Structure 1
Amino acid sequence: MHSNPIEALRHQLATLCHAAQKGVIRLSTPCQVNDMMGWLNMQSVYPRLYWQSRDVGAVEYATLGAVNAFESLAALKADLVALNDIGGQQPDFFGGMAFDPHTPGWAHFPACYFLLPRIELKRHQGGATLSLNLRFDDRCPSAEIAQAHACLDALAAEQPLPRLQPLVYQREDRPSQQEWAAWVGLVTNLDHLMRTPKVVLSRETRLTTPQPPNPWALLSRWQSGAADCFHFGVQLTPSEAFIGCPPEQLYKREGRHLTTEALAGTTHRGRDATQDQALAAELLGDKKNTLENQCVYQQLLTQLEPLSSQVQMGEAHIVKLRSVQHIRRLIHAELHHSVTDHSLLSSLPPTPAVGGVPRESAMTFIRQHERHQRGWYSGVFGRISHTSSDLAVTIRCAHIDSEMIRLYAGAGIVAGSQPDEEWRELDSKIADIMSLLGMG
């Protein structure tokens, strides 16, 4: 990035008459950027976030710092209401939530965390825009302007990302394959199935290494082979990152219209087009996988019914990803006027595609048996604003710190699930990132 966009924002900041300002003020200028993650990687301001929805031609966002941060949905809702009452610009908030707020999560990731970024770099089909967000209604104007100047002063030019080197790792799976088989046996026991027809069990694969990869270089490579997926990265502190390319949407909201999906039921990709189609047809006709998908969409319909005036479900179809294919059904709803993102985020996650059915008894089983912390894996990540929101379920992800990469995968265990088949499915789900790490 050239220095002129930063100078342009400095000039706008210097000439801003803040006395009459209310709410969020956004100063923006066009800019040139070749590699959003190459830009993010060079910055010294935290938190650092990256977000791109899976829609074709979706806007890319890279953000730095925080004007405001919220560690509860109630606080975020109150702020959205306050900003709407003031009028003026309605900003985008970015962030995520853990899978289970009632268990200890990852050390530096709160159970819920959404922020209004200080700096926002946005790339769309028409070019790129660098923006500076300010807020005057509840803080000292001179301090706010000083913080904004300090953030602009700290901005660095983008550089090419470092190359990914195949690294040496020690691998440990939690649970072990033996423990996994025992869990699957418990879930598929007839008495347990009567009470809980589906439990999504997960595995943490720990790759210990003296030199973990650069998270932005890894995400950039992963993204290039993950079309039809969301792409996200977050560093709340310099020593830790959470990145991913999830295929699953939690929901997309445009005004009162909501889209969500039942994404459950999995098979691998074929060696050629003929075998691939045969596997897809087999998946759609398979009793166990159809049941798994049905568990998901029935619970979603039940959750959406009290929030909506109208709910429609589409036909089952196959989504093809790089290493696996899934059954998907789209669901459309018209929300009641009183329904907010707070209502949706309080009721929809964790979805039955990552938790189970019924939710409470499935969660009880997971809490009793899983020894690893899911943290933000199988939680939520995305963008929220007054007019529209877009959020993904955080699967197909990696949690990276200074000595370890943690990969996560889950499988829906229902009647007919076989432990060895489900274990192989877990390996299929981490195959993409393992190959990027030189381990595939």
Structure 2
Amino acid sequence: MLAQTRLLEQLDSLPAAEQHGFVRLRTAMDVTSLIGWLKAQPLFPRIYWHARERDREFAVLGAIRELTDPAQLSALTGQPRPSAGSYPRYYGGLAFDYQQPVNGEWQDFGQCRFVLPRIELIRQGNQTELVCNLLFDGQNTQQELAAARSALTQLQPEKTLQKYLPAQRSRQDMPDKPHWQQWLSQVLHPDALKTIPKVVLSRRSALTFSEPLEPWSLLASWQSATPACFHIGFQFSPESCFIASSPERLYRRQDRALSSEALAGSMPRTGEPEQDAELAELLLQDGKNRLENRFVHTDILTRLDGLADTAVVSEARILPLRHIQHIKREIEATLRPDTSDWQLLKNLHPTPAVGGSPRRKALAQIRALEQHQRGWYAGACGFISEDVSEFTVAIRSGLWHDNQLYLYTGAGILNGSDADAEWQELDTKLNSMLGVWHD
């Protein structure tokens, strides 16, 4: 690998005695698939991020530094520009309910986990660069140089992603449909709706396959099938990998300019343009779906109060995906100079689109009803740097273990919801992920 050799040469030419703080070495690199390159590497963690607009793509390896306490994220804002010329970028995520313990199949991920990677493969527009990061503290110079050399020498050429997907043997839903109907009879009781007008309930579908599944190939299949989504993957160890193809942005911050959105309210798509246009119009006019979206954009605007100088919301429009369409309202804000990413995450996550309203009571109801752990499903996943940060809400997601895949779907329950219709919405969302087996 020519790029690997060039970075090793740059590393050897660094005047060791003069290094301090964050240092970034970079060189151009030709690569066909960033996911294929990531799959080939022996280093962990392995993290992938592809923006919905498709102009920003990152594949990263290793960890120089890890943050596992959400309160530590506040220290990533307000840093001076390093001598490297660009700010360090921390990749990671917050669990959906990050104030609660995370265990079991989510043990690798925790309530919060962000890493400053050793290696980054970055594509922005038509340019792709291989990057090696170093962080010097005045006493670790030789250790950092040795660690960087070790990581670079282990890099492997990209692999071809397999298109074959093993046969599905079984599926088990938690909750099953009778328990789902029981849940909805509770949350739709008039007395319950008075205190919690909206709660988002989720289902975990455990799929078992005839042989081990390859999560990075699956993510690439999802990416091909759903180009208008964020595509992310987090693998902290060989045992498990979390992947998602999410249509929903939590926020993007470029200096003080913030973009967020309310994505709530759903209707299937048929693939027939005229029928889909009719369904889209029905969705925009449907009172239950409009109310569901209003809960979200009103909550976001309220939570930006005190963090932003100005905030405006757009008119409702349709976001069409392959199998489903959503009501979407865009929110643009100008942040106050002292607003940090941790304040944004703490205030905005989880939104009513994945939790409910009011937040505290909805979360308490979710904890009381759901028997499965959401973990990073519906969590906030992305990256933080001083100048640019971006997060997606990790819906349409799955957690992989060997020959098992847990797929997660959710539905907003509020006045006017019907148990059978909401169960069908869960299946529609699940089929949008399972479609790679059948299309």
TM-score range, shorter chain: over 0.9
Residue 22 of structure 1: aligned partner: 20
1:6 paired with 2:4, answer yes
Sort the Cα spacing of 1:271 and 1:342 in 2 relative to 1 into closer, same or farther, 3 A: closer
Moved more, 19-28 or 373-382: 19-28
TM-score by length of 1: 0.96
3-state secondary structure, aligned to 2:86: coil
Residue 88 of structure 1 and its aligned partner are, at CA, apart by 4.6
Q: Name the stretch that deviates more: 289-298 or 95-104.
A: 95-104
What is residue 274 of structure 2 aligned with on the other side? 274
Once the 2 structures are TM-superposed, how far is the Cα of residue 4 of structure 1 from its aligned partner?
1.5
Does 2:169 correspond to 1:169? yes
Structure 1 Cα separation of the partners of residues 84 and 338 of structure 2: 19
Residue of structure 2 in register with 1:255 after alignment = 255
Which residue does the alignment assign to 1:68?
65
* Cα shift at 1:322: 0.7
Mapping 1:116-265, distance limit 5 Å: 116-137=116-137, 139-265=139-265
- 1:287–1:93 distance in 2 versus 1, CA, 3 Å: same
SS in 1 for 2:16: coil
Distance in 1 (CA, whole Å) between partners of 2:379 and 2:352 is 12
Residue in structure 2 matched with residue 406 of structure 1 by the alignment: 406
CA distance in 2 between partners of 1:163 and 1:88 (Å): 40
Structure 1 position 352, deviation (Å): 0.7
Q: What is the SS of the residue equivalent to 2:74?
A: helix
Amino acid at match of 1:285: Q
Structure 1 residue 343: Cα displacement: 0.7
CA distances 1:185-217 after superposition (whole Å, capped 9, x unpaired)? 111111111101000000000012342321111
Contact 1:301 1:311 in 2 (8 A): yes
The C-alpha deviation readout for 1:66-106, integer Å capped at 9, x for no partner, is 11111123323324445548885312111111000233321
Closer, same or farther: CA 125–309 of 1 in aligned 2, 3 Å:
closer
Deviations 1:262-286 (A, max 9, x none): 1000010034111111111111111
How far apart in 1 are the matches of 2:215 and 2:266?
Answer: 28
Query: Across the two proteins, how many residue pairs are aligned to each other?
Result: 436
Deviation of 1:305 (Å): 1.4
Once residues 75 and 123 of structure 2 are traced to their aligned partners in structure 1, the CA distance between those partners, rounded to angstroms, is: 29
Q: 2:56 aligns with which of 55, 59, 83?
A: 59
Which piece of structure 1 moves more, 19-28 or 178-187? 19-28
Residues in 1 aligned to 2:81 and 2:129: alpha-carbon distance in whole angstroms: 24
Q: Tell me, what secondary structure is at the counterpart of 2:262?
A: strand
**Partner amino acid, structure 2, of 1:45:** L
Counterpart code for 2:23: I
Give the Cα separation in 1 of the matches to 2:152 and 2:77: 26
TM-score by length of 2: 0.96
Given that residues 229 and 247 in structure 2 are in contact (C-alpha distance below 8 angstroms), is that contact kept between their aligned partners in structure 1?
yes
Identity %: 42
Q: Residue 94 of structure 2 aligns with which residue?
A: 97
Q: Compute the displacement of 1:17 (Å).
A: 1.2
- Contact 2:249 2:261 (8 Å CA) reproduced: yes
Partner of 2:402, secondary structure, is coil
Match of 2:38 in 1: 40
Distance in 2 (CA, whole Å) between partners of 1:89 and 1:23 is 12
SS in 1 for 2:389: strand
| AA at the equivalent of 1:41 | K
CA deviations 1:13-61 (Å, max 9, x no partner) are: 1110132222210001111111111111110000001101111x41211
Computed over aligned residues only, the root mean square deviation of the Cα atoms, in angstroms, reads 1.5
Which amino acid is the alignment partner of residue 344 of structure 1?
L
SS in 2 for 1:338: coil
| d(CA) in 2 for partners of 1:204, 1:437 | 19
User: Alignment partner of 1:192: what SS?
Assistant: helix
CA distance in 1, matches of 2:236, 2:37: 17
Indicate the SS of the match to 2:426: helix
Q: Distance in 2 between matches of 1:291 and 1:298?
A: 10
Please identify runs of 4+ aligned residues in structure 1 that moved more than 6 A.
none
**SS of 1:437's equivalent?**
helix
**Unmatched runs of 5 consecutive residues or more in structure 1:** none
Query: 1:350-365 to 2 correspondence within 5 Å?
Result: 350-365=350-365
Instruction: Tell me how far apart the structure 1 counterparts of residues 271 and 376 of structure 2 sit (CA, whole Å).
Output: 33
Structure 2 runs not aligned, ≥5 long = none
